[in-house]
Amino acid sequence: MANVESMIVEEKSQPAKQVDREKTCPLLLRVFCSTGRHHSVSEYMYGNVPSNELQIYTWQDATLHELTSLVRDVNPDTRKKGTYFDFSVVYPEYRSQSFRMREIGVTCSGQKGADDNKTLAQAKFCIGDFLDISITPPNRLPPMRRQRQY
């Protein structure tokens, strides 16, 4: 028998680059929230977007926890402890002239989570992309973890 070695490769996250928010112009983040589900990618086609747009001026070093707080500030129904926020980036697929959606993380009101400190830059967010957030109230099951594609 041959000696077989297993190799465990640990993915190391890139350290977040600090943005001087006093000197750097913020970007316009177009956010679309929905209760219990993500919007369909087809809702972003042909220059259309879902009707419930939230516009946030922020920076590439904004964390998912920070974005969760901003959504909670404008939407009182999401302030309950145990509310899940499932973040996805919606971005154009230029080859097929369509849009794609990619999950970037989940946060939960009142609980610390592994994705809380993930920044937009670490999630490979590009200016012009949309943020789609599925909000799950505490009385429902939390979002199923899908396999991530980064």
Structural domain spans, the chain:
27-136
Is the domain covering 27-136 a CATH 3.90.1200.10 domain? no
* Cα-based torsion angle of the residue sequence 22, 57, 113, 86 in order, rounded to the nearest 10 degrees: -160
Q: Output the DSSP codes for 55-114.
A: EEEE-TT-BHHHHHHHHHHH-GGG-STT-EEEEEEEEEETTTTEEEEEEEEEEETTB--T
- pLDDT value at position 46? 86
Residue 35: how many other CB atoms lie within 10 Å: 14
Picking from 61, 2, 76, 73, the residue whose alpha carbon sits closest to that of residue 29 is 61
Q: pLDDT tens digits for the chain (150 residues)?
A: 455 454 444 444 555 567 888 888 999 999 999 999 999 999 998 889 999 999 999 999 999 999 999 999 999 889 999 999 999 999 999 888 889 999 999 999 999 999 999 999 999 999 999 999 999 998 776 555 544 443
